[in-house]
Structure 1
Amino acid sequence: MSPRSDPEFFDAKYRADPDPWNFDTDWYEIRKRNLLMALLPHPRYGAALEPGCANGHITTMLAQRCDHVLATDIAPHALELARARCRHQVNVTVERWAFGETWRWETAFDLVMLSEVAYYLTEPALTAAIEDMAAHLSTGTTVVLSHWRHDEEDHHLGGDQATRIALSGLPHRPVARYLDDDVRIEVVAVR
C-alpha cells in the first residue's frame, strides 16, 4: 500500500473500527497523550488548533486547558466520533479541514497541536503547509510536534523526518523536548 492522505482511506478505517489505532487501550497512545499535556509550557491557552484530531482523545484533554479548541480532520466518520466524544465540552468545535489545505482561520491561536499528522504529507506539501501556518501564527504561539518514530507504509515521511522539515520551516525557539524509541515530541514557541 502506498502512503495515504486521502479522506476515503481514513474514513474507511473509522467506519470499520471506531478506534482503528487503539487510542483507548494502547499504552503508547495513553502515555503520549499524558506526555503532550505535561510538556505544554502554560497552564492555560486561549485558542488551540488540533489538525488530525481523529476520534477526539487529545481534543478532550486540550479542552480542559484551553478556552476554545478547534479540532479538525479529513475523515467524516472520525469527525462524528470526535463530536460525540466532546459533546459535553462546549468549548470544542469540530470541523472538516486537512492540515496542508490553505489556512482559513482568522482565530489567533496560541497553541497548535500537530500530533501524528505531518508525516501524511509529502515533503513539498509539508514544507508549504508549515510556511502557510507560520505566516498566520503570532510570536509566542506554542507549537507541538509529536510523531511515531517507526516507518509505516501509510506515511509519506518518517516521524523524525517530518519533525525536521516542520522545524526547519517554522521560525521558533525550543521550549521542551521528549524522545524515546517510539515517539519524538518537540514543543516550540514561534519567533
Structure 2
Amino acid sequence: MSLPPAYFEALYQADPDPWRFAESDYERDKYAATLAALPRRRYRRAFEAGCSSGVLTAALAPRCDALLAVDAAAAPLQAARDRCAALPQVTLRQAVLPADWPAARFDLMLFSEVLYYLDRDDLHRLAARTAASLAPGGDILLVHWTGKTDYPLTGDAAAEAFCAALSSQAEVTWQNRADRYRLDLLRGR
C-alpha cells in the first residue's frame, strides 16, 4: 500500500527536516549530481514531485521559466514557500500523487526520492499520468536512495518499474549509480 500523507505529516511534526535536506553532505552532493544530470540549461515548464521544504526546488528554479513543485504533506510546504519566496517562477502546492496530478504539459519532470513511497499500482498510475503530461522530447529525471527501506518499494525496484512502465513513451538515455543513490534520465519519444 502507498504511504499516506499522514505518514509524512507525522514525520514533519516530529522534525521539520527529518532527512536533513538543508544540512546533509549526502543531500548537498546528491542535489549537485541531480542538477548536473539535467541535459538542458533551461526548461520552459518543470514539475517536481515531493518537494518537501524546497531545498532542491530553490536550486532547480533558476533553470526553469516555470516550476510547479508539490508535496503530499502540508507541514514542509511553508518552509518551501519561505525558501522560494524570491523565486516568482515557482508555484508550490499540496498534492497527493498520483490522484492530484496537475493538468499541464512539462518539458522536465523530477522525481527525487519519492517513487518508492508508492505501491506498484499507484506507481503505474503515476507513470501513465507522467507520460500523458510529458512534452515531446521532454526529460524525466529519477533520483532514488538504493539502501534498504521499509517503504512499499526499494529505490531500485521503483526506478526500474517506472522506467519499464514508460518504455513506450520515453527512452532511458542515461543512468548513474553513486554510492547510495541512483539517477535515471529518460527522454520522451
Name the TM-score, length of structure 1 as normaliser. 0.93
Shift of 1:4: 5.9
Shift of 1:102: 4.8
Segments of 4+ in structure 1 off by > 6 A? Answer: none
- RMSD of Structure 2 on Structure 1 (CA): 1.4
- The structure 1 residue matched to 2:153, chosen from 136, 154, 157, is 157
Paired residue for 1:188?
186
State whether structure 2 residue 109 is matched by structure 1 residue 112: yes
Per-residue CA deviation, residues 21-78 of structure 1 (Å, 9 max, x unaligned), is: 0112222111110000001000000111001001001100111100111010011111
> SS of the residue aligned with 1:70?
strand
Name the TM-score, length of structure 2 as normaliser. 0.94
Paired residue for 2:85?
87
- The structure 1 residue matched to 2:14, chosen from 1, 13, 16, is 16
Paired residue for 2:132?
135
Structure 1: tracts of 5 or more residues without a match: none
> SS of the residue aligned with 1:5?
coil
Question: Using the alignment, how far apart are the partners of 2:6 and 2:127 within structure 1?
Answer: 24
> SS of the residue aligned with 2:27?
helix
Structure 2: tracts of 5 or more residues without a match: none
Paired residue for 1:69?
67
Q: State whether residues 49 and 114 of structure 2, in contact with CA within 8 Å, keep that contact through their aligned partners in structure 1.
A: yes
Identity in percent: 36
Question: Using the alignment, how far apart are the partners of 2:51 and 2:128 within structure 1?
Answer: 21
> SS of the residue aligned with 1:23?
coil
Instruction: Indicate the larger mover: 67-76 or 13-22.
Output: 13-22
